[in-house]
A and B are shown apart, each in its own frame.
Chain A
Amino acid sequence: MPDKSELLLGCAPITERPGMERAMRVAINRVRHSKKATTFGHQQAFDKALAKLVRNIPVDEQLAEWFGKESLVPVVRRGWKKIVRNPVVIAIAIAALVIGVVTAYRVYEKLNDFPGADKARRLLSVAASNRSVLLDPLQTDAGALTDLFFMKHHLEHYDVPAEFAQFKTLGSRVFDDDEVRRVAQIWVKEKRMQFFLFPAEPDKQGKINDFSDWRFVEWEGWTGAVTQRNGVCFMAVIRGGEKDLRAYLEKKKA
């Protein structure tokens, strides 16, 4: 019974073109260096002679005209509907849409950013990775810590805004961050919120412009509401969305 390479050699290509199957290439190379090389050579000469005869098949003049008529040959005409239904086009469109939305969101975010927004986001990552045991236990009103920060750490204007001053604290700490510099952190009982107080960032002209409204930053499911007074930023952080924080800000307004 002939083996696989013999079977392949039986239908070996008449003209060896690039891209030939590996098994066929191997079988041909092997037989050319074996005792069967002569027999295979005869087979190839036989096949080439027949293929040459096939190429010489005359084509009727009347029929030859058909070969020049491009209109008889179906041309791939793709309507826009077909193009739109193509899975590749759909995938590219979805990818472009996602990139567009992300880019638009980033641009919108940057336009609404305030100096120090990057610092605030960095502190959101600190909030996400922190545990309460890192802080010094302290149970008092958050507003009362202003004096502590000033007296103990010489941090001036590290004031907790009135909206959050009544919240009961669990602990606090003051630490130095490479980018944000002196940061005061407070944990409160209310929804395990955290407060951060840190130096404000000057704008491009080098000026520090306070803002009394609340501006929001987000980072991986954490949201911070930031306000800036006397060159110090206060940020209330909660795990959740903007609406969770707005509830506290609007309660105070009312």
Chain B
Amino acid sequence: MAVTTKNLPQLYRFCFLMTGDAAKAQTAFQDTVRDAATRTDADEPPPDRLWFFRQARDRCIAVTEEGIQAEPGMLEEAEISPDAAAQIATLTPEQLAVWISAAPEPQRSALALFYLDEFTLPELLSLLDMKAGELSDLICSGRRQFQSWLDSTTAYYGGEAHHAG
């Protein structure tokens, strides 16, 4: 599948989830698109959709390498709550991006790509270069960790969600 301008907002959202920072996301996004344009001008094979996301992933990892790196298995986990959707509805996209960007690699990439709701399972596995079992583990533990974080950040009372703080 070729990349069109319709895919670019998704590419930017991916960069934003990966970095948790609009400026860094913008840099990674612009560099990726520029690189693709240069490749085409240089008469190289045209990049496909997955190429864009691979490149953007590498750039996002590079751009966030300087900061504090998360370590795997540091977060508490909780079973998914029946009220999770309502809890999530109280969040802002920025909060979600900050949480995902703080996850260790490759969980961060797995969560960012998965929640874009853009790719099929084989595409996800190809992008992340991992097996279905590994991806499933990362997503499942990510859900439980996020639920734990949700529980500590928000509280839900009788159909209304309130920030704990």
Q: Which residues of A contact B (CB under 8 A)?
A: 2, 6-11, 13-15, 17, 19-21, 24, 39, 42-43, 45-60, 63, 66-77, 79
B63 at the interface (CB under 8 A from A): no
Contacts of A55 in B (CB 8 A): 13, 117
Contacts of B97 in A (CB 8 A): 57
Given contacts A13-B121, A21-B120, A54-B96, contact A7 B12 (CB under 8 A): no
Given contacts A24-B121, A47-B115, contact A54 B13 (CB under 8 A): yes
Q: Which residues of B contact A (CB under 8 A)?
A: 2-5, 8-9, 12-13, 16-17, 22, 26, 29-30, 33-34, 36-37, 39-40, 43, 46-47, 80-82, 84-85, 88-89, 91-93, 96-97, 114-117, 120-122, 124, 132-133, 135-137, 139-140, 143, 146-147
Are A73 and B5 touching (Cβ within 8 A)? yes
Are A50 and B139 touching (Cβ within 8 A)? no
A49-B84, A67-B9 given; 16 more Cβ-contact pairs under 8 Å: A8-B136, A11-B132, A13-B117, A15-B117, A20-B120, A24-B121, A53-B92, A54-B96, A63-B12, A63-B30, A66-B8, A67-B5, A73-B4, A74-B37, A74-B39, A76-B2
Are A50 and B88 touching (Cβ within 8 A)? yes
Are A54 and B115 touching (Cβ within 8 A)? yes
Contacts of A42 in B (CB 8 A): 80-82, 84
Interface of B is mostly: helix
Are B12 and A59 touching (Cβ within 8 A)? yes
Q: Which residue of A lies closest to B84 (CB)?
A: A46
Q: Which residue of A lies closest to B134 (CB)?
A: A7
Are A43 and B80 touching (Cβ within 8 A)? yes
